[in-house]
Amino acid sequence: MLDIKNLKVNLEQKMLSSNQIMIMPHIDADFDAIASCLGVSLIAEKLNKDNHILVGDPIYTLDHGVQKIVEESEKNFSILYFNQYQEMKKDDDLNILCDVNKPRLTYVKEFNKDNLVIIDHHDKDSETFDASLLHIDDTASSASEIVTGLLSAYKIKVSPEVANVLLTGILLDTNRLSKNVSSDTMRMVTKLLEQGASIEKASDYFNEDFNSDRKIQELVNQTKFLNYTVAIILADEDKEYTKEELAKAADYLLKYKVDAAYAIGNIGDGVISISARSKDSVNVGNVMRELDGGGNQFSGATKISDSSVTEVADRLRKIILPPSYLGKKI
């Protein structure tokens, strides 16, 4: 691992002389990029500096595990999406790029060299940004390994959650400790384990796609047919689903001979959501508008508080079924 003490001194001087710090991962942020950004944010916090992490990708385009980390981090970190960033950025911001050093891989393409810091483990080449502090250590397995070293140089104890995310970054870039692993990598892994990370929990982030697909199948299993062409999924009241999972389950049902599919489920905080999809004969946007939601011909959604999945299904049923069907229980 390259000289971390030197990096600490130079980074600290940059941070202390800045007003606002913008920390950025690469486009299509992965575990390593987002984890190293969280670590750098903790260092800025320790120095009492205003700092934000820019996530420039639409969140739904990110890998499921990364989405989960971003959503979980919103509680304790300032995460900015691109439009918020555009409003908040200032000319004298200190910009810190993590896990990236080339303009074609960053959301922002131009920086003032004096206000740019790069912390990365990818090779430097002719494309690499000109930066006043360029810390590229290609002997490190990951940006997370470098940042874990920095946090330890600062004696910052991270929460078990952040330790897990940093471990996930290292696991990703080492293909779960099977390549690019040095004694420094293992030292950093040990530090993270000591702060509450666990290989099992970190691995859960890798399984997000699988778990999410499984949840969608679980929803599909709870489909009821209102009539031959309208399908409704009534999710288990006690289980929480994301709006995206409900939408994907409704989408999935369109593979079959249905004109419209509605997935109703608990999305947490006492809110029931409906995701509606149709081929073309039913305008589900109109149906959702009758339940204070919105959408278009093919896709719509609504959120309803203080209700249950069954109550919401009853209200939906009254809207979509002709009166002659209303006696029928679904």
Binding site for Mn ion (CB under 5 A): 32, 99, 142, 173
Q: How far is the CB of 55 from Mn ion (least distance, A)?
A: 16
Nearer to Mn ion, 93 or 99 (CB): 99
Residue 161 Cβ vs Mn ion, minimum distance, rounded to whole Å: 20
Angle, CA 79 vertex, CA 125 and CA 28 arms, to 5°: 40
Contact 166, 192 (CB under 8 A): yes
* Closest CB to Mn ion among residues 18, 142: 142
Question: Could you tell me the maximum CA-CA distance found in the chain, to the nearest angstrom?
Answer: 77
Residue of minimal CB distance from Mn ion?
32
Of the pair 99, 184, the CB lying nearest Mn ion is at 99
Q: Is 170 exposed, middle or buried (0-12, 13-18, 19+ CB in 10 A)?
A: buried
In angstroms, what is the minimal distance from the CB of 129 to Mn ion?
16
To Mn ion, the closest distance from the beta carbon of 35 in angstroms equals 9
With CA atoms as reference, report the closest residue to 129 among 140, 118, 143. 118
DSSP 125-174: -TTSPP-SEEEE-TTSS-HHHHHHHHHHHTTPPPPHHHHHHHHHHHHHHT
Which lies closer to Mn ion via its Cβ, residue 23 or residue 247? Answer: 23
The minimum distance between CB 116 and Mn ion, in angstroms, equals 19
Nearer to Mn ion, 142 or 195 (CB): 142
CB of 99 to Mn ion, least distance (A): 4
Nearest residue (CB) to Mn ion, 170 versus 260: 170
Give the residue from 158, 148, 135 showing the smallest Cα distance to 188: 148
Tell which residue, 65, 40, 223, has the closest CA to residue 54.
40
From the list 132, 146, 60, 156, the residue with the least C-alpha distance to 99 is: 146
Neighbours of 61 (CB within 10 A): 10
Q: Is 127 left (phi over 0), alpha (psi -120 to 50) or beta?
A: alpha
The residue among 70 and 247 lying less far from Mn ion, judged by its C-beta, is 70
What minimum distance in Å lies between the beta carbon of 82 and Mn ion?
A: 22
